[in-house]
Structure 1
Amino acid sequence: MAQKEGGVAKKGEEGTKFALSLLEEFELPMGLLPLADVVEVGFVRPTGYMWIAQQKKVEHNFKLAGKLVSYGTEINGYVEKKRIKKLKGVKAKELMLWPPVNEIAVDDPPTGKIHFKSLAGVTKTFPVEAFAAGQ
């Protein structure tokens, strides 16, 4: 795939650690990607393109945000400081629907807020600490 050209990929546990290091580097909450059974995590630094493959879909309940989020077996997007754009493979439950989340952004300068935008133009805002590691 052309998007992956020039990228660095890590498998399994190393991939999980790589994903967490990228979240930290780009100042995103460490608990934002609750990954399980990672197959591969990759990143192309010149473009910011990141991909994650995991063995099975993961559903995670962020209790402080009161939000159930589904992470598919293939997740990808473009990472930059405090933001993930063109995100694919992540859905957040709204009532009975699972609209795809296509952008996540943390306020800069920091306000303690994180915003999830859907393709439908709906934006939901939560406290950043709701997505800290271990939540």
Structure 2
Amino acid sequence: MSLVTEEIKASASEVYYGDAIGQEKSKFLLTEMGLPNGLLPLEDIIECGYVKDTGFVWLKQKKQKVHKFEKIGKLVQYATEVTAVIEKFKIKKLTGVKSKELLMWITLSEISVDDPPTGKITFTATSGLYRTFPVSAFRIEDVKKDVGGVDLAKDVKKDVGSVDLAKDGQVVEEVKKDVAQVDVAKETQVKEV
């Protein structure tokens, strides 16, 4: 049963339909509230909404998703509907999110950030148990670096000769210094450095 009623939708400040806009708006809202932008890595978002007066937010996706946060080695399960009340540095009354601990899925009810932006993030279960991790484990860095019309995250090969152009989604310093020397082919791929 959905927690998002027609009454809630009618009172929403913002309602968006579609994956691209849903991804953009959910990351923007998380960032605006001082939370890491990779906290809700949902796919195929069909609807998202936000009631500014109460802080109620919802995201609906086509199917349930299990995501592994590589930096901490944790599996998190996202239901087809995720709801919460969001405020500065905190998500409370969270539904639709579970974390795998040992052999069990634990339902999460609250997420809070201490000492933002480089501090710790705490996940609290409905049982009161909690775990704390670095905020950086849930942050997605913007990998697009536009250099002369070239999207390095998409169009540039990772290794040209012996120069490693990308490391963890960011352009290494050596390439930044030599950007002026980059020749771009018609297909926006690097010919040589």
Which bracket does the TM-score occupy, shorter chain normalised? Answer: over 0.9
Cα distance in 1, alignment partners of residues 67 and 121 from structure 2:
17
Runs of 4+ in 1 over 2 A off after TM superposition: 2-5, 108-111
Give the Cα separation in 2 of the matches to 1:86 and 1:23: 16
1:129 corresponding residue in structure 2: 136
**Between Structure 1 and Structure 2, which shows a larger proportion of strand residues?**
1
2:87 equivalent to 1:80: yes
Q: Give the stretch that moved more between structures: 1-10 or 19-28.
A: 1-10
Shift of 1:108: 3.9
Query: For residues 51 and 20 of structure 1, what CA distance do their matches in structure 2 show?
Result: 13
User: Residue 70 in 1 paired to residue 73 in 2?
Assistant: no
Normalising by structure 1, we get a TM-score of: 0.94
Q: How many residues align?
A: 135
SS state at 2:42 partner? coil
Question: Using the alignment, how far apart are the partners of 1:24 and 1:109 within structure 2?
Answer: 11
Distance 2:8 2:112 in 1: 22
5 Å-filtered alignment, 1:1-135, equals 1=5, 2-7=7-12, 8-12=14-18, 13-108=20-115, 112-133=119-140
Which structure would you say has the larger Rg? 2
Task: Tell me the SS of whatever aligns to 2:106.
Answer: coil
Note the residue ranges of structure 2 that are not aligned, 5 or more in a row. Answer: 142-167, 169-193
**TM-score of the superposed pair, with normalisation by structure 2:** 0.66
C-alpha deviation, 1:64, in angstroms: 1.4
Q: Which runs of 5+ in 1 are unaligned?
A: none
CA RMSD of superposed structures (Å): 1.6
**Cα 1:54–1:3 shift into 2, 3 Å:** same
Deviation string, structure 1 residues 23-52 (Cα, Å, up to 9, x no partner) = 111010011010100001100001000000
Aligned equivalents of 1:109, 1:26: Cα separation in 2: 11
Structure 1 residue matching 2:104: 3-state secondary structure: coil
